């Protein structure tokens, strides 16, 4: 659903009123309630883009939270007390300039699996610990990957519009693609990729995978077929789902030549990171019917501009980077990030610490 500018304005106005009301109350109680809680910097409360209000009490259970807006207004007041930074959705941006202002910083705890938004070498050079949340939301993202595959295969958005939009003919003949017995290619057999393979077997799919390292135990456990070359995997698949981290090696790994190798009936799904795909070359492949359809939970930029061709193609489904967006998963991510941050501040072993090489 696309919100109109008026609805977004009203939503943000209500949200801002709630936030500032809560903030005033929190400030009044700060001196008595914070006690010995460490001070941690993070981004902002925003029901559309950042922390929903429901997660604020989770963080306040652990920390005296300093919001970015307050930090910018009075750095001298907060800077020397801040011992951790919680990064949510890439914010706040961790730069050398920010690190220079935080003399007692011990850890950057990112509430994500990917770390392409962090300069790990910079953090290593400063002796600052790093943690991520690689395992908390894996099941939720795997669920979402199969949800998107099913939605595309059965042309779900088109079906919903046909049944509910009175300006659209009610169409009994929206013919989708059968999933049972088809072949799925998984690019990247990490936690999420393995979870998708488990779910795909419930659909009686044949599952092939490509990864930079063969994983014989996982392969044997599920009866998966390994391909050491991506170009050899692609022509055999009815569905291809991308689940790799963004690294220099995976940046732009899916482009014109890879799309040409796929079946004309193939459905391409990206739940990884947008730069893994040459987006303009994907547009070309869809326009030329080199492949049948695409499903993107990630785009570049997010959101796409209103005139972007991907927004106006009937064979494309786009969702707002929401693979981990269940209440249970998001709460778990915040809890895990806070636990890692607390451990680093106390000088203990850090759960989910990222080893900086």
Question: Tell me, what CATH number does 337's domain have?
Answer: 3.40.50.720
- 23 domain residue, yes or no: no
pLDDT at 52 over 60: yes
What's the pLDDT band for 182 if we cut at 50, 70, 90? very high
Question: Which long-range contacts link 287-291 to residues 24+ away (Cβ below 8 Å)?
Answer: 287/313, 289/264, 290/259, 290/260, 290/262, 290/264, 291/259, 291/262, 291/263, 291/264, 291/266, 291/267
**Same structural domain for residues 341 and 197?**
no
How many domains does the chain fold into?
2
Question: Are the C-beta atoms of residues 294 and 316 closer than 8 Å to each other?
Answer: yes
- 17 domain residue, yes or no: no
**Same structural domain for residues 245 and 347?**
no
- 304 domain residue, yes or no: yes
What's the pLDDT band for 2 if we cut at 50, 70, 90? very low
- 6 domain residue, yes or no: no
List the single range of 8-12, 99-103, 165-169, 230-234 with lowest mean pLDDT. Answer: 8-12
- Give strand ranges (E) for the chain: 39-42, 64-67, 82-87, 107-110, 129-131, 183-187, 206-210, 225-227, 239-242, 267-270, 293-296, 316-318
**Same structural domain for residues 101 and 153?**
no
Is the full-model pTM beyond 0.85? yes
- The mean of the pLDDT values for the chain is 92
Sheet holding 129-131, edge to edge: 64-67, 39-42, 82-87, 107-110, 129-131
pLDDT at 28 over 80: no
**Same structural domain for residues 187 and 126?**
no
Q: What is the CA radius of gyration of the chain?
A: 23
Task: Give me the pLDDT at residue 14, please.
Answer: 56
**Same structural domain for residues 311 and 186?**
yes
**Same structural domain for residues 74 and 141?**
no
- 117 domain residue, yes or no: yes
**Same structural domain for residues 282 and 299?**
yes
**Mean pLDDT, to the nearest integer, of 1-19?**
53
Q: Which residues of 58-79 are buried (b: 16+ CB within 10 A; e: fewer)?
A: bbbebbbbbbbebbeeeeeebb
What's the pLDDT band for 9 if we cut at 50, 70, 90? low
| Helix, strand, coil share of the chain (percent; to 5) | 45, 15, 40
Task: Give me the pLDDT at residue 357, please.
Answer: 85
Catalytic positions, written as ranges: 273, 302, 321
Task: Give me the pLDDT at residue 27, please.
Answer: 45
Q: For 192-242, what is each residue's pLDDT tens digit?
A: 999 999 999 999 999 999 999 999 999 999 999 999 999 999 999 999 999
- 5 domain residue, yes or no: no
Tell the residue number behind the tokens 């029901």, with chain if given.
47
Can you give the residue range of the structural domain that contains 101?
33-135+326-354
- 151 domain residue, yes or no: yes
**Mean pLDDT, to the nearest integer, of 112-132?**
95
List the single range of 33-42, 267-276, 329-338 with lowest mean pLDDT. Answer: 33-42
pLDDT at 16 over 70: no
List the single range of 11-25, 42-56, 102-116, 263-277 with lowest mean pLDDT. Answer: 11-25
**Same structural domain for residues 198 and 331?**
no
**Same structural domain for residues 231 and 101?**
no
Task: Give me the pLDDT at residue 11, please.
Answer: 56
Q: CA 234, CA 316: separation in Å to the nearest integer?
A: 19
**Same structural domain for residues 275 and 188?**
yes
**Same structural domain for residues 209 and 230?**
yes
- 295 domain residue, yes or no: yes
**Same structural domain for residues 147 and 179?**
yes
């Amino acid at each position: 659903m696309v919100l109109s500018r008026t609805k977004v304005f009203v939503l943000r106005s209500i949200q801002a009123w709630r936030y500032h009301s809560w903030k005033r109350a929190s400030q009044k109680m700060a001196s008595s309630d914070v006690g010995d809680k460490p001070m941690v910097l993070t981004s902002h409360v925003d029901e559309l883009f950042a922390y929903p209000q429901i997660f604020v009490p989770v963080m306040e259970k652990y920390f005296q939270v300093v919001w970015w807006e307050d930090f910018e207004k009075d750095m001298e007041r907060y800077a020397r007390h801040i011992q951790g930074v919680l990064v949510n959705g890439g914010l706040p941006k961790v730069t050398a300039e920010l690190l220079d202002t935080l003399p007692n910083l011990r850890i950057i705890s990112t509430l994500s699996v990917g770390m392409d938004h962090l300069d790990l070498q910079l953090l290593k050079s400063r002796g600052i610990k790093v943690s991520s949340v690689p395992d908390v939301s894996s099941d939720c993202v795997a669920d979402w990957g199969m949800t998107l595959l099913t939605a595309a295969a059965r042309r779900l958005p088109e079906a919903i519009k046909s049944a509910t939009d009175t300006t659209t003919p009610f169409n009994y003949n929206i013919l989708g693609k059968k999933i049972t017995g088809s072949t799925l290619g998984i690019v990247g057999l990490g936690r999420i990729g393995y979870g998708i393979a488990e779910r795909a077997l419930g659909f009686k799919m044949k599952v092939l995978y490509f990864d930079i390292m063969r994983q014989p135990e996982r392969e044997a456990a599920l009866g998966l077929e390994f391909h050491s070359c991506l170009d050899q995997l692609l022509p055999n698949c009815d569905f291809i789902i991308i689940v790799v981290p963004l690294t220099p090696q995976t940046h732009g790994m899916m482009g014109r030549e890879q799309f040409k190798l796929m079946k004309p009936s193939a459905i391409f799904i990206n739940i990884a990171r947008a730069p893994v795909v040459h987006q303009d070359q994907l547009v070309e492949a869809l326009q030329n019917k080199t492949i049948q359809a695409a499903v993107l939970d990630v785009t570049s930029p997010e959101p796409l501009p209103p005139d972007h061709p991907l927004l106006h193609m009937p064979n494309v489904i786009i969702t707002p980077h929401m693979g981990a967006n269940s209440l249970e998963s998001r709460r778990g991510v915040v809890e895990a990030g806070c636990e890692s941050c607390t451990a680093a501040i106390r000088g203990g072993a850090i759960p989910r610490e990222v080893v900086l090489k």
